[in-house]
Chain A
């Protein structure tokens, strides 16, 4: 059996005295789709920060495609194929959508042997072809979210990290997003952090539940909705002991 694409073990991160991520292990196979859910403050975004190289963990290892990633500069993560879409839309405001995609692709393409992905095709995928020459600042929030997705796709990712991709989108937009992610499944691995349960249900994949910095359970989404621990965590009730069930 080949080694999974991403093997992260024992990840730990503190902010001052607060433990944000505590002994988290994550395994993701090539082309697999994984969701992470959990209440606010569970440490999901911090985990994503660690996996994308934005933060250096206090302890733990991250092996990606066989290489140890901890300690490498952030741009190396993207070049090796771990690409992140931020919460909220972080685009290059004063450049056109087309140029945003171009710059996004250049980071990886200019330093590897592959070519630059086709920008027109990317615009088509994210549904912004008519807005190709509009400045990002002039796009609506939802459109900017799509532009961000497009930018991450231009980086030719092997592992895509999506931080609340449907935030600020309409129901229609969320559905389109879910369809896109389903379509791309198999092409590359994806980790999605989300609060939108309808969206997560639609994705129907392996799901992890985080609470106070730890992964408390995982499984298919349908199974998790039945799990009383998950319900407790979301309702703010203290976690019942395993022996209680």
Chain B
């Protein structure tokens, strides 16, 4: 019984992270049927924001003329990160600051990508794949060149365990689950109950009609893109203490996120939750009896089978491709 609770909690942790990363992807995919291959990089940016702030705090704590040093170090983010490894008590506030700043960073990079690339390609889905693939390579390498190729050192912001349903579970993971739950609930409320959410849903169903009805589709798309990037960055901050923070952090989650979106159905948050539940749950369950990479492979194969059986996803959204294929 204890093992089951443990497994469920582990699954929930993964599902929470996957959901945060996938919401942005699902909305964009649902809105414009384009795939942003650089979406994983938002997550990486979030994680590196945390690494950067934490390493900055070391220098602040190291004494001397901290503020001037911090000023110069802020200009050369990599320097601080590379030189971290000094033995000093990490400033706990770094995590909470990162939690606030990372979404901003993600949104900024997101708006840059959207303006420079995606906006010009939104009627050409396959070109978008190629262009965003290029961008993801550029971003990854850029991060690696700035921060160095060694994994960043991240300190746990919350130590200790909490008793959950009779099991002592790491408090930090409980935080992840709770925090994600709050964020996703907010997303759902925005999606279902606000004007913006209504405009978004209209856009997803029929872009031309939405525009004809006077909805500023470009503005809505842009905002949705930024929001998705911010969510992914948030996920990056959350996962950073648990994962190896390297330049290619985003790729692993991107792969899973794609299948979450495809299996769950594009264009709806409910679909994202369904997909995350399935992919996250399955992967967690399978990683007990077998090697995790094999579990990953099996989940991929299952997802492919599901795509075949239900090409419109578990909770079908609206998408160009299905119109294109003549499927009704």
Residue ranges of A at the interface with B (Cβ–Cβ < 8 Å): 15, 54-55
Contacts and interface: CB of A to CB of B under 8 A. Distances in A.
Nearest to B326: A54
Contacts of A15: 328
B315 to A, nearest CB: 15
Nearest to A16: B328
Specify the main secondary structure of chain B where it touches its partner.
Answer: loop
Interface residues of B, number: 2
B283 to A, nearest CB: 34
A15 B328 CA distance: 8
Interface in B273-328: 326, 328
A12 B303 CA distance: 34
A216 to B, nearest CB: 25
3 contacts: A15-B328, A54-B326, A55-B328
Considering the complex of A and B, which 3 residue pairs feature the smallest CB-CB distances, nearest first? A55-B328, A54-B326, A15-B328
A179 B319 CA distance: 42
Contacts of B328: 15, 55
Contacts of A54: 326
Contacts of B326: 54
A156 B175 CA distance: 69
A66 B203 CA distance: 47
Contacts of A55: 328
Nearest to A49: B328
B258 to A, nearest CB: 28
A54 B328 CA distance: 10
A194 to B, nearest CB: 23
A114 to B, nearest CB: 28
A85 to B, nearest CB: 16
A69 to B, nearest CB: 18
A54 B326 CA distance: 8
A41 to B, nearest CB: 16
B243 to A, nearest CB: 43
B206 to A, nearest CB: 15
A24 to B, nearest CB: 18
B2 to A, nearest CB: 47
Nearest to A15: B328
A226 B328 CA distance: 37
